[in-house]
């Protein structure tokens, strides 16, 4: 059986494209030759299976009062069991957790990630092996977000909280025994300041290819 990598994330795992001019298809989603999940699959080769579970707006554990089923915790068991056996779980979340309406600071987001990881570790989906989880900290939100249309519902304080995420998510990785990767070098676009560009997807895929090759 192929080594199975399950990627749980938000719009940056789904592949949302904020700039249609940056996307080969000119649409709102990067295609299979552009998304980091697909690039990771291509780089790892036929002995691996990379499954993407990205939902725009997804948080770690915080329910969104405007949209249902946005917290990963509420669907985690179903996702893990439907995709078992899981050899590596990659979680890249945190960008949406900084929304003002959710009321969580960076420390609380780190605790939320800890709760999510510990839940994943408790699910019988690992084929008898020890849970293998990689936390990926998303790049910090850029100032352009505040001037973009999406900045209005995101609210105040998002930039500051997103900049503090690395230290808390790395702490969570150490507390839970998870692996950690900081995606700070990966490029966000300058239109809304919170979504990966085509280049950003390629950069993340390269970082993950190097990381995953040491974990599986």
> Is 150 a residue whose pLDDT tops 90?
no
Across the beta sheet with 88-92, the strand order is 48-54, 3-9, 88-92, 133-137, 179-182
Summarize pLDDT for 114-142 with one digit per residue, the tens: 999 999 999 999 999 999 999 999 999 99
> Is 148 a residue whose pLDDT tops 90?
no
Each domain of the chain, given as residue ranges in start order, spans: 3-215
Question: Can you give the pLDDT at residue 151?
Answer: 87
Question: Can you give the pLDDT at residue 119?
Answer: 98
Question: Can you give the pLDDT at residue 90?
Answer: 99
pLDDT band at 43 (very low <50, low <70, confident <90, very high): very high
pLDDT band at 39 (very low <50, low <70, confident <90, very high): very high
Both tokens assigned to 74: 């509420």
φ, ψ for residue 128 (rounded to 5)?
A: 85, -5
Q: Which CATH class is domain 3-215?
A: alpha beta
Residue closest to 37 by CA, chosen among 204, 153, 213, 157 = 204
> Is 143 a residue whose pLDDT tops 90?
yes
Summarize pLDDT for 72-131 with one digit per residue, the tens: 999 999 999 999 999 999 999 999 999 999 999 999 999 999 999 999 999 999 999 999
Residue closest to 57 by CA, chosen among 186, 172, 195, 204 = 195
Summarize pLDDT for 173-201 with one digit per residue, the tens: 999 999 999 999 999 999 999 999 999 99
Q: What is the DSSP string of 170-214?
A: HHHHHHHT-EEEE-TTSPBPTTTSSSB-HHHHHHHHHHHHHHHHH
> Is 5 a residue whose pLDDT tops 90?
yes
Distances (CA, A) of 122 to 23, 160, 175, 181: 39, 32, 15, 22
């Amino acid at each position: 059986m192929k080594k199975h990598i399950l990627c749980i994330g938000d719009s940056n795992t789904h592949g949302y494209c904020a700039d249609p001019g940056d996307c080969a298809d000119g649409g709102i989603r990067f295609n299979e030759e552009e998304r980091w999940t697909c690039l990771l699959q291509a780089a790892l080769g036929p002995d691996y299976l990379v499954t993407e579970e990205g939902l725009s707006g997804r948080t770690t554990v915080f329910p969104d009062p405007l949209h249902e089923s946005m917290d990963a915790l509420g669907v985690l068991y179903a996702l893990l069991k439907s995709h078992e056996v899981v050899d590596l779980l990659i979680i890249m979340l945190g960008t949406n957790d900084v929304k003002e309406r959710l009321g969580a600071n960076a420390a609380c987001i780190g605790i939320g990630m800890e709760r999510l990881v510990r839940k994943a570790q408790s699910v019988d989906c690992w084929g008898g092996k020890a849970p293998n989880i990689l936390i990926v900290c998303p790049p910090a939100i850029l100032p352009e977000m505040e001037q973009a249309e999406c900045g209005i519902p995101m609210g105040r304080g998002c930039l500051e909280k997103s900049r503090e995420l690395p230290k808390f998510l790395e702490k969570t990785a150490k507390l839970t025994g998870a692996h950690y990767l900081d995606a700070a070098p990966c490029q966000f676009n300058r239109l809304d300041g919170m979504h990966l560009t085509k280049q950003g997807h390629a950069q993340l895929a390269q970082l993950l290819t190097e990381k995953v090759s040491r974990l599986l």
